[in-house]
C-alpha cells in the first residue's frame, strides 16, 4: 500500500455535494499532525475547518484557494512515512505495476478509485462506461427578468388560396371557411363552446393575442343565449329504478346556465299591473281586416310588442346593460320574444324593432315565430338582444316572475287574456283583462323607472290612441 | 419524352450518376448479372464493369459496413438492400456508425452513401417483403430519408441523393415500380428536401409519401363527385421534413389527414400531427387524423388489402375530419 | 466452458519472457541496436500514458479509461510494423498503436473525459476514430481495403497499401467480424485482421467465445492465421510486418492472434477479482512485455543506467504533459452539437439551435 495517502473532500454535512476552498492552512512540504486543521471550506451553511486524517508531510495540494471542489475529490496528498526516504519526484503518485493491478476494495482513500456501484472521486456512483449519474437538487435555476416569457406563437395570416379548384362548398358547419375567407383564430375548446352556444365565430371579434377569439369573446357574443342545432335528446327509462334520466345537454344546458347566470347576478324586482285590454283586443280585429295586414298575422302579442317599444322610447334607460364599470344604454331596440321550439325555449330577437312599421313588426314577429317552430333559429338571431317579452298567456297562465335574459335590464311577462268582471263607470261589466309582470335589474332600474315603464305599457294597451299621442 | 416505369427511371438515374462521377459504385445482392430482383440495376454491370457494380455476399451488415470503409476511402457507394424487411441486420451499422460518423468526427469523415430500399406492401408477397420501416430511420439524427412516389421524382431524386455528402436512406415503393409516367431527363428538378403539392384543393389536405401518394390522388378524384376539394401533398423528403409547405397548405384548408402504410403508433403521422397542432393550434377546424396500417405485424398477403390504407379508408377518414 | 486451447498450441516467439532471443523459421528480423532501444522506449512510454490516464480517472478527471496494461508489446509491435501509407482501424484500447501513429495522447483522453468522440482527423493520421461498438470497425476496415484494391494501390512491395483492423477475443464472436472475414476473403482484400486475445471480454473468458484457438478461424474462411506471443514486441513486429507485406502485394488477408493478457480491468470501474484468480495474474506478471525487453537489452549490453534514466525522464515529462493537457481541457460549447450532424444544418436543427440559444440566454446572470 502506497505511503502517500490522498484525502478526499468529505460531505461536510447534510448532503453537501461541493464546497469552496476558502484557504489552505498548510503548505507543501510542511509536516502535519493527525487532526491538524488543514483547510477551510465554505459550505452552503458556514465556513468549516477540516482536520487532517493523516500525519506526515504534505506532498501535494490539488486545488488552490478559491476553487469549488466536488465532494469526493482528492484535495491533498500526504506522505505518511517521510522517514522511509525520499519519494520519487513525480507529479502524480507513481504506482508500480503491482499497485495498478486491482485488488479487492479496501481503504477508500487509497488509489483504487470507485468500482461499479461505489461513489467515485466526483461523488458520482461509478458505472462501467462513464462518470456515473449526477445527483441533481430539486431546485430551479433562476431565469433573468429580460428573458422572453413562454410566448403565444405568432399566428401568421393565411396565404391566398391557389385558385385552381374551388368547387362547391364543403359539408359541415364551417361553410364560412371557403377559399379566401379571413381566418377564424380560436383554440379548440373555444370553438367547441361557440358551437354549443350556437355562436358563429365569423361574427365575433377576437380580443385575444394576435386577434384570437377567447372564451369571454364567445360568451359576450351570446349573452348566454342557449344553443341551437342539437337534436332533441332522448331520455332513457330504466324499469329497475322506474326513473328516466334526461341528459342536461344542448339547449337545456344553456338555458339552465343562462338562468343561473342571470338570477344570481342581477337583483330582480318584479312589478305587476292588471289592466283592461279590451280596446287592444278590438284593435286586433280591426287590424286584421285592413288590406295592409293581408296575409300577415295579427296577434295581441304584436300590440304588446309595440307598446313595449313605445314605452322604451319614453324610458330609454330601461333598454340597457349593467356592467361592473358602466351601464350601457342602447339606442337601438332588439326586441326578444321568448319562443317555444322543438329544442326548447329560445329567445330570438327582432333587430331594430323600433325602426319597423306596425306591418313590418307583424311580419318580423311572424317570421320569428315560424322560424323558431321550424327549429331554424340561428345564433345571430339570438345575439345582442336588448329587452324581452315572454308570452305565457298562450298556456292559459295568468302571469309569472320572469328571469332576465342575461345582458338585459328588463323582461315583460304577458299572461292570459280573460273575460273578467271589471268596474267601469261604477258599474260591474265583463271586460277582457290581463296582467303584465315586469322584472327588472335593480342595479340599473329603480322603482320609479320600472313602475313608469310598466305603467306606460299598460296605458298603450288600455287606450291604443295613446300610441298616436306618443308617436 | 419517354414514358418510363419507375424501375427504368431509377435505372436511368443511376446510369447518369455513374457517368457523372467515377467514384460512384453500386453494391448489393444480385445487382450485377441479374440486374437486381426488380431490374433497377439492369445492364449497369455490363456497361460499367464489375469494379463499379458488384454483387456482394449475402450479408446486409457487411454491405453497409464495407460501404462505410469505401466512403472513407473516397468512394460514393450506392447500396441496395434487397427488401425492406432485410434491412435490420444492417440497422446497427446504419444507426451506430453511418448516422453518427459525421458528428463523431466533427465533419472530417463524410459519409456520401445512399442505401436504396424497396419498401411497402401491395404486391402479394410472403412475410418480410412488405415492410415500411421508415420511422426507425427518420428517428435517427444524422440520416436523411426520402421516398419517391413516381417515375419523374425517382429519376431525379436518386441522382440528387447520390450527389449529397450526407447519408441517405432512399425508399422506393415497390408496388409502383411498374407504373409509367413521362420523364424528361432535361427538366429542372425540384430540390430533394422539398415537398410538393401534387393536387390543389380547398377543403382538406391529404399528406402522403411513397406508395400512398397515388392512393390519395385517386381518393381526391373520387371525392370530387361528393363535391369535395381535397389538396394532396407528396412529402418526398421524410427527414428533413418540409414543414413550411405542409403548414402553408393546412393553414389554408384547416384540416389534415396523414396517410401511410406503416403502422400508426409512433409513425410519421404522429410527428406531423404533433407539429401541426403546435403550429396551427388556433387555426385547425379538426384534429389531424391518420390513415395507416394497423398496429400488427404485416398480415399474410390474402389479407393485406384489409390492412393497407386504400381509397375508401382514406375517404372514410376524410368524412370524419369534415364532420368536425 | 471447453478448454480447447491446449498449452502446447504453437505461437511465434522471438524473445522469451526471460529476455532470451529465439529464432523462428518463418519470421526473421534483423534490427539495429537503436531499433531495439526504441522499442523499449515505446513500451515504457505507452505504459506510462496508460498509468497516467488511469490515475487521472481515479481523480475524477476522466469518466472511464480502458487500460491496455499488459498489451503494450502487441500494440507497439504491430503499430511499428505499419508503413506510413497503411491505415489502421482500432477498437477503443489501442493507445499504443495511436502512439505509433503519432496521435497526441491528450486527444485520446478527450473521448474518455467526455469532451469529444475522438479529436483527430482519421485521414491525416491514417488511424480511424475509436469505435466502441464491438467489431463494427472490421467491416469499415474491409471496405477501406476494398477501396484500396479498386484504386489499384495493391501490388508493389514498397508502395502498396494495406489495412490493419484491431479487435479482441470477444469481438471474434460478433457477426460483423465474421462478415468482414467473408468479404475480405472473397474479394482478396489487402487487410490484416489483428486480434488481441487478452483472455477476457469483461468477465467472459475466451473459452466462451471460441471452441478452438482463434487463429484457426481463418482457415474456415480460406486465409492464413497465425498465433504470436502478444507480449513479445519483436515477434509481434515480425509477424505483423510479414502479414502487411502479404496484403500490400495482393496476397489477401491474414488473421494474427496476439496471445496476451489484460493485466488491468476492462475499464476503470470493473472489478476483476470477481471473476478471475490472483494466481492467473501472478503467472502473467512473469511474462511482462517490458521486463523481458529490459532484460534483453541488458543481455545485449546495449544499454546503461543513463539510458534508463533518460527513458524514465521522458516518461515523466510525457505524463506531466498529459496531466496538464487533461486538466486544461475545456468542455465544448454545447451549441456545436447542432452544427455537426449534417454537412449543412437542416431547418429543424436551425430551429432547435436557435431555441437552445434563447433558452440558455434566459438564465439570470451567474445562475449555476
CATH code of A296's domain = 3.30.559.10
Interface-testing mutation among A88, A113, A114, A150, with chain C (most C C-beta atoms within 10 A): A113
Residues of chain B whose beta carbon is less than 8 angstroms from a beta carbon of chain C are: 25, 51, 56-57, 59, 61-62, 64-75, 89, 92-93, 96-97, 100, 102-110, 141-142, 144, 164-166, 193, 240-241, 243-244
Both A260 and A193 in a single domain? no
**Could you tell me which chains touch chain A, where touching means 3 or more CB pairs under 8 A?**
B, C
pLDDT of residue B206: 98
Chain C nearest-CA distance from B93, in A, is: 7
Comparing CA positions, the residue from B81, B136, B84, B82 lying closest to residue B114 is B81
B165 interaction partners in chain C (CB closer than 8 Å): 343
> What is the span of the domain harbouring residue A399?
250-470
Residue B102, classed as helix, strand or coil, is: helix
Q: Using the beta-carbon criterion (under 8 Å), do A73 and C320 form an inter-chain contact?
A: no
pTM value? 0.70
Both A42 and A168 in a single domain? yes
Both A159 and A202 in a single domain? no
Comparing CA positions, the residue from C154, C96, C171, C170 lying closest to residue C127 is C96
How many contacts does A have with B, using Cβ atoms within 8 A?
62
Q: Is C355 on the interface with B (CB under 8 A)?
A: no
Interface-testing mutation among A68, A71, A95, A100, with chain C (most C C-beta atoms within 10 A): A100
More confident residue, A132 or C254: C254
Q: Is residue A318 part of a domain?
A: yes
Both A197 and A83 in a single domain? no
Both A314 and A441 in a single domain? yes
Q: Is C362 on the interface with A (CB under 8 A)?
A: yes
How remote is the C-alpha of B72 from its chain's centroid? 26
Q: Using the beta-carbon criterion (under 8 Å), do A130 and C51 form an inter-chain contact?
A: no
Domain with A94 in it: what CATH number?
2.40.50.100
Give span(s): CATH 3.40.50.920, chain B. 196-322
Q: Is C333 on the interface with B (CB under 8 A)?
A: no
Q: Using the beta-carbon criterion (under 8 Å), do A115 and C358 form an inter-chain contact?
A: no
Q: Is residue A135 part of a domain?
A: no
Mean pLDDT, chain B, integer: 97
DSSP state of B219: H
Comparing CA positions, the residue from B35, B90, B39, B42 lying closest to residue B67 is B90
Q: Which of B227, B254, B281 sits opposite A167 (nearest CB)?
A: B227
pLDDT at residue A45 is higher than 60: no
Number of domains in chain A: 3
Under 8 Å between Cβ of C75 and C96 = yes
Rounded Cα distance, A340 and A331, in Å: 28
Interface-testing mutation among A69, A88, A128, with chain C (most C C-beta atoms within 10 A): A128
Q: Where are the beta strands (DSSP E) in C159-260?
A: 163-168, 191-197, 200-201, 204-205, 225-229, 254-259
Rounded Cα distance, A292 and B72, in Å: 97
pLDDT at residue A174 is higher than 90: no
Range from A161-175, B257-271, C21-35 carrying the lowest mean pLDDT: A161-175
Rounded Cα distance, C134 and C93, in Å: 12
Report CA dihedral (A200, A201, A204, A206) to the nearest 10 degrees.
Answer: 170
DSSP state of C211: S
Chain B nearest-CA distance from C181, in A, is: 10
Q: Which of A221, A244, A267 is the last residue of a domain?
A: A244
Q: Is residue A69 part of a domain?
A: yes
Annotated active-site residue C275? The verdict is: yes
Both A233 and A290 in a single domain? no
Q: Is residue A144 part of a domain?
A: no
Interface-testing mutation among B50, B65, B195, with chain C (most C C-beta atoms within 10 A): B65
Residue C248 CB partners (closer than 8 Å, separation 6+): C83, C86, C154, C155, C156, C157, C160, C161, C162, C190
Both A298 and A412 in a single domain? yes
Q: Using the beta-carbon criterion (under 8 Å), do B57 and C139 form an inter-chain contact?
A: no
Chain B nearest-CA distance from A230, in A, is: 14
Express as a percent the part of chain A with pLDDT over 70. 76
Q: What's the mean pLDDT in B176-183? A: 96
pLDDT of residue C101: 97
Comparing CA positions, the residue from C91, C53, C41 lying closest to residue C258 is C91
Chain A nearest-CA distance from B105, in A, is: 20
Angle at A458 between CA A456 and CA A460, to 5 degrees: 75
Give span(s): CATH 3.40.50.970, chain B. 2-183
Q: Using the beta-carbon criterion (under 8 Å), do A183 and B283 form an inter-chain contact?
A: yes
Q: Using the beta-carbon criterion (under 8 Å), do C117 and B104 form an inter-chain contact?
A: yes
Q: What's the mean pLDDT in A295-324? A: 93
ipTM: 0.91
More confident residue, A137 or A47: A137
pLDDT at residue A295 is higher than 80: yes
The grid coordinates of residue A119 equal 461513489
> Does the N-terminal peptide bond of residue B318 adopt cis geometry, omega within 30 degrees of 0?
no
pLDDT digits (tens, 9 = 90+) for A383-439: 889 999 999 887 888 888 999 988 899 999 999 999 999 999 999 999 999 999 999
Interface-testing mutation among A94, A95, A110, with chain C (most C C-beta atoms within 10 A): A94
Q: How is domain B2-183 classified at the architecture level of CATH? A: 3-Layer(aba) Sandwich (3.40)
- Search chain C and give the residue with CA nearest B102: C341
Q: Output phi, psi for B152, to 5 deg.
A: -60, -50
pLDDT digits (tens, 9 = 90+) for A20-40: 888 999 999 899 987 788 888
pLDDT digits (tens, 9 = 90+) for C290-305: 999 999 999 999 999 9
Angle at B192 between CA C335 and CA B107, to 5 degrees: 35
B284 interaction partners in chain A (CB closer than 8 Å): 188
Residue B208, classed as helix, strand or coil, is: strand
Q: Is C66 on the interface with B (CB under 8 A)?
A: no
Q: Is A129 on the interface with C (CB under 8 A)?
A: yes
Q: Is C191 on the interface with B (CB under 8 A)?
A: no
- Search chain C and give the residue with CA nearest B72: C144
pLDDT of residue A251: 58
Q: What's the mean pLDDT in A139-163? A: 57
Marked catalytic residue, from B102, B129, B260, B316: B129
Under 8 Å between Cβ of C86 and C40 = no
Both A322 and A448 in a single domain? yes
More confident residue, C117 or B12: B12
pLDDT of residue C98: 98
Under 8 Å between Cβ of A120 and A72 = yes
How remote is the C-alpha of C148 from its chain's centroid? 22
Rounded Cα distance, A369 and A339, in Å: 7
Rounded Cα distance, C89 and C140, in Å: 8
Chain A nearest-CA distance from C358, in A, is: 8
Both A237 and A316 in a single domain? no
Marked catalytic residue, from C248, C262, C292, C323: C262
Rounded Cα distance, A177 and A169, in Å: 9
pLDDT digits (tens, 9 = 90+) for B115-168: 999 999 999 999 999 999 999 999 999 999 999 999 999 999 999 999 999 999
pLDDT digits (tens, 9 = 90+) for A199-243: 888 888 888 888 889 888 998 887 644 444 444 445 567 778 888
Annotated active-site residue A442? The verdict is: yes
Q: Using the beta-carbon criterion (under 8 Å), do A97 and C364 form an inter-chain contact?
A: no
Residue C222 to residues A21, A288, C164, C217, C285, Cα–Cα distance (Å): 65, 115, 18, 9, 36
**Could you tell me which chains touch chain C, where touching means 3 or more CB pairs under 8 A?**
A, B
Q: Is residue A204 part of a domain?
A: yes
Q: Is residue A74 part of a domain?
A: yes
- Kindly indicate the confidence band of residue A471, based on its pLDDT and cuts at 50, 70 and 90: confident
Both A256 and A372 in a single domain? yes
Q: Output phi, psi for A187, to 5 deg.
A: -65, 155
Q: Where are the beta strands (DSSP E) in A323-386?
A: 327-329, 335-337, 339-341, 344-346, 349-350
How many residues does this entry show for chain A?
Answer: 471
User: What Rg value do the Cα atoms of chain A yield, rounded?
Assistant: 43
Mean pLDDT, chain A, integer: 78
Q: Is residue A407 part of a domain?
A: yes
- Search chain C and give the residue with CA nearest A145: C364
pLDDT of residue B223: 96
- Search chain C and give the residue with CA nearest A139: C368
Q: Is C318 on the interface with A (CB under 8 A)?
A: no
pLDDT of residue A95: 41
**Which residue numbers in chain C have pLDDT < 50?**
1-2, 368
Residue with cell 497503411: C86
Q: Please give the class, per CATH, of domain B196-322.
A: alpha beta
A97 interaction partners in chain C (CB closer than 8 Å): 69, 263, 285, 288
Element (H or E) spanning A468, and its range? helix A465-470
Question: What is the Cβ-side half-sphere exposure of residue B132, based on CA atoms within 13 angstroms?
Answer: 32
Mark which residues 233-272 of C lie under 8 Å from B by CB: none
Angle at B252 between CA B249 and CA B258, to 5 degrees: 45
Amino acid at each position: 500500500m502506497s505511503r502517500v495517502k490522498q484525502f478526499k473532500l468529505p460531505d461536510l454535512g447534510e448532503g453537501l455535494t461541493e464546497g469552496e476552498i476558502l484557504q489552505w492552512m498548510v503548505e507543501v512540504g510542511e509536516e502535519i499532525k493527525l487532526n491538524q486543521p488543514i483547510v477551510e471550506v465554505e459550505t452552503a451553511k458556514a465556513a468549516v475547518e477540516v482536520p487532517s486524517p493523516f500525519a506526515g508531510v504534505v506532498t501535494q495540494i490539488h486545488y488552490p484557494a478559491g476553487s469549488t471542489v466536488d465532494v469526493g475529490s482528492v484535495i491533498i496528498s500526504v506522505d505518511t512515512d517521510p522517514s522511509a526516504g525520499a519519494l520519487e519526484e513525480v507529479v502524480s503518485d507513481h504506482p508500480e505495476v503491482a499497485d495498478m493491478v486491482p485488488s479487492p476494495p479496501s481503504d477508500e482513500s487509497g488509489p483504487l478509485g470507485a468500482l461499479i456501484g461505489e461513489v467515485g472521486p466526483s461523488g458520482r456512483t461509478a458505472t462501467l462506461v462513464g462518470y456515473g449519474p449526477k445527483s441533481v437538487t430539486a431546485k430551479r435555476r433562476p431565469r433573468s427578468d429580460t428573458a422572453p416569457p413562454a410566448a403565444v406563437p405568432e399566428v401568421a395570416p393565411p396565404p391566398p388560396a391557389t385558385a385552381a379548384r374551388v368547387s362547391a362548398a364543403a359539408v359541415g358547419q364551417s361553410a364560412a371557411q371557403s377559399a379566401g375567407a379571413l381566418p377564424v383564430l380560436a383554440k379548440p375548446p373555444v370553438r367547441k363552446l361557440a358551437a354549443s352556444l350556437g355562436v358563429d365565430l365569423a361574427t365575433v371579434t377576437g380580443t385575444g393575442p394576435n386577434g384570437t377569439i377567447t372564451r369571454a369573446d364567445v360568451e359576450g357574443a351570446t349573452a348566454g343565449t342557449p344553443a341551437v342545432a342539437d337534436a332533441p335528446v332522448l331520455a332513457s327509462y330504466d324499469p329497475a329504478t322506474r326513473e328516466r334520466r334526461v341528459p342536461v345537454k344542448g339547449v337545456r344546458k344553456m338555458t339552465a346556465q343562462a338562468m343561473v347566470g342571470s338570477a344570481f347576478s342581477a337583483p330582480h324586482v318584479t312589478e305587476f299591473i292588471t289592466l283592461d285590454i279590451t280596446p287592444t283586443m278590438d284593435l286586433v280585429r280591426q287590424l286584421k281586416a285592413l288590406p295592409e295586414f293581408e296575409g300577415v298575422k295579427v296577434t295581441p302579442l304584436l300590440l304588446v310588442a309595440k307598446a313595449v317599444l313605445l314605452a322604451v322610447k319614453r324610458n330609454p334607460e330601461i333598454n340597457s346593460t349593467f356592467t361592473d364599470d358602466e351601464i350601457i344604454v342602447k339606442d337601438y331596440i332588439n326586441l326578444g320574444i321568448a319562443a317555444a321550439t322543438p329544442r326548447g325555449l329560445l329567445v330570438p330577437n327582432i333587430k331594430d324593432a323600433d325602426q319597423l312599421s306596425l306591418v313590418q313588426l307583424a311580419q318580423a314577429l311572424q317570421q320569428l315565430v315560424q322560424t323558431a317552430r321550424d327549429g331554424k333559429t340561428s345564433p345571430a338571431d339570438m345575439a345582442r338582444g336588448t329587452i324581452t317579452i315572454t308570452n305565457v298567456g298562450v298556456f292559459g297562465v295568468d302571469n309569472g316572475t320572469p328571469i332576465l335574459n342575461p345582458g338585459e335590464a328588463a323582461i315583460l311577462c304577458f299572461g292570459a287574456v280573460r273575460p273578467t268582471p271589471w268596474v267601469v263607470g261604477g258599474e260591474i261589466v265583463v271586460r277582457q283583462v290581463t296582467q303584465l309582470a315586469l322584472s327588472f335589474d335593480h342595479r340599473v332600474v329603480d322603482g320609479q323607472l320600472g313602475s313608469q315603464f310598466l305603467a306606460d305599457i299598460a296605458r298603450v294597451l288600455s287606450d291604443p290612441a295613446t300610441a298616436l299621442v306618443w308617436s | 419524352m419517354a414514358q418510363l416505369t419507375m424501375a427504368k427511371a431509377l435505372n436511368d438515374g443511376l446510369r447518369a450518376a455513374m457517368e457523372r462521377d467515377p467514384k460512384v459504385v453500386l453494391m448489393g445482392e444480385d445487382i450485377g448479372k441479374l440486374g437486381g430482383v426488380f431490374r433497377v440495376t439492369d445492364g449497369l454491370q455490363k456497361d460499367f464493369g464489375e469494379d463499379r457494380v458488384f454483387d456482394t455476399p449475402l450479408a446486409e451488415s457487411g454491405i453497409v459496413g464495407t460501404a462505410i470503409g469505401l466512403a472513407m476511402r473516397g468512394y460514393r457507394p450506392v447500396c441496395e438492400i434487397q427488401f425492406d424487411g432485410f434491412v435490420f441486420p444492417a440497422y446497427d451499422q446504419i444507426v451506430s456508425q453511418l448516422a453518427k460518423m459525421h458528428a463523431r468526427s466533427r465533419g472530417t469523415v463524410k459519409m456520401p452513401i445512399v442505401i436504396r430500399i424497396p419498401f411497402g406492401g401491395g404486391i402479394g408477397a410472403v412475410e418480410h417483403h412488405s415492410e415500411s420501416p421508415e420511422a426507425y430511420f427518420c428517428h435517427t439524427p444524422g440520416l436523411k430519408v426520402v421516398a419517391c412516389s413516381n417515375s419523374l421524382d425517382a429519376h431525379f431524386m436518386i441522382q440528387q441523393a447520390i450527389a449529397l455528402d450526407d447519408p441517405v436512406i432512399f425508399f422506393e415503393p415497390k408496388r409502383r415500380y411498374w407504373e409509367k409516367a413521362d420523364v424528361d431527363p432535361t427538366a429542372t428538378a425540384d430540390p430533394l428536401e422539398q415537398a410538393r403539392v401534387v393536387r390543389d384543393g380547398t377543403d382538406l389536405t391529404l399528406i402522403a409519401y411513397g406508395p400512398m401518394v397515388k392512393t390519395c390522388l385517386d381518393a381526391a378524384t373520387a371525392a370530387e363527385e361528393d363535391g369535395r376539394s381535397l389538396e394532396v401533398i407528396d412529402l418526398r423528403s421524410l427527414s428533413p421534413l418540409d414543414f413550411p409547405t405542409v403548414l402553408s397548405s393546412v393553414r389554408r384548408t384547416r384540416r389534415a389527414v396523414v396517410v401511410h402504410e406503416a403502422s400508426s403508433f409512433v409513425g410519421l403521422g404522429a410527428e406531423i400531427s404533433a407539429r401541426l397542432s403546435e403550429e396551427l393550434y388556433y387555426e385547425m377546424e379538426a384534429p389531424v387524423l391518420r390513415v395507416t396500417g394497423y398496429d400488427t405485424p404485416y398480415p399474410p398477403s390474402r389479407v393485406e388489402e384489409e390492412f393497407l390504407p386504400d381509397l375508401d379508408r382514406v375517404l372514410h377518414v376524410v368524412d370524419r375530419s369534415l364532420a368536425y | 466452458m471447453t478448454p480447447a486451447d491446449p498449452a502446447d498450441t504453437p505461437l511465434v516467439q522471438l524473445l522469451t519472457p526471460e529476455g532470451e532471443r529465439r529464432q523462428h523459421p518463418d519470421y526473421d528480423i534483423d534490427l539495429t541496436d537503436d531499433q531495439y532501444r526504441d522499442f523499449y522506449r515505446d513500451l515504457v512510454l505507452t505504459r506510462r500514458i496508460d498509468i497516467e490516464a488511469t490515475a487521472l480517472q481515479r481523480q475524477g478527471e476522466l469518466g472511464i479509461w480502458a487500460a491496455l496494461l499488459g498489451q503494450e508489446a502487441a500494440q507497439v509491435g504491430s503499430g511499428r510494423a505499419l508503413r506510413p501509407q497503411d491505415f489502421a482501424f482500432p477498437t477503443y484500447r489501442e493507445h499504443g498503436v495511436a502512439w505509433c501513429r503519432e496521435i497526441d495522447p491528450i486527444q485520446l483522453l478527450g473521448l474518455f473525459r467526455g469532451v469529444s468522440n475522438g479529436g483527430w482527423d482519421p485521414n491525416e493520421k491514417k488511424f480511424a476514430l475509436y469505435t466502441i461498438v464491438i467489431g463494427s470497425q472490421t467491416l469499415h476496415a474491409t471496405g477501406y481495403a476494398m477501396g484500396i484494391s479498386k484504386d489499384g494501390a495493391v501490388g508493389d512491395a514498397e508502395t502498396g497499401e494495406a489495412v490493419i483492423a484491431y479487435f479482441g477475443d470477444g469481438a471474434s464472436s460478433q457477426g460483423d467480424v465474421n462478415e468482414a472475414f467473408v468479404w475480405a476473403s472473397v474479394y482478396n482484400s489487402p487487410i490484416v485482421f489483428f486480434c488481441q486475445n487478452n483472455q477476457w471480454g469483461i468477465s467472459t473468458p475466451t473459452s466462451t467465445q471460441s471452441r478452438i484457438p482463434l487463429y484457426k478461424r481463418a482457415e474456415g474462411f480460406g486465409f492464413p492465421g497465425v498465433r504470436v506471443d502478444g507480449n513479445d514486441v519483436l515477434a509481434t513486429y515480425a509477424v505483423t510486418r510479414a502479414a502487411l507485406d502479404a496484403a500490400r502485394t495482393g496476397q489477401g488477408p491474414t488473421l494474427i492472434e496476439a496471445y496476451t493478457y489484460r493485466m488491468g480491468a476492462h475499464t476503470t470501474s470493473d472489478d476483476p477479482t470477481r471473476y478471475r484468480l490472483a494466481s492467473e495474474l501472478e503467472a502473467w506478471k512473469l511474462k511482462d512485455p517490458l521486463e523481458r525487453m529490459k532484460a534483453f537489452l541488458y543481455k545485449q549490453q546495449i544499454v546503461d543506467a543513463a539510458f534508463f534514466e533518460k527513458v524514465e525522464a521522458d516518461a515523466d515529462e510525457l505524463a506531466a504533459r498529459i496531466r496538464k493537457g487533461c486538466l486544461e481541457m475545456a468542455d465544448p460549447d454545447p451549441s456545436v452539437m447542432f452544427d455537426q450532424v449534417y454537412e449543412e444544418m437542416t431547418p429543424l436543427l436551425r430551429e432547435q439551435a436557435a431555441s437552445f440559444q434563447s433558452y440558455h440566454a434566459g438564465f439570470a446572470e451567474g445562475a449555476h
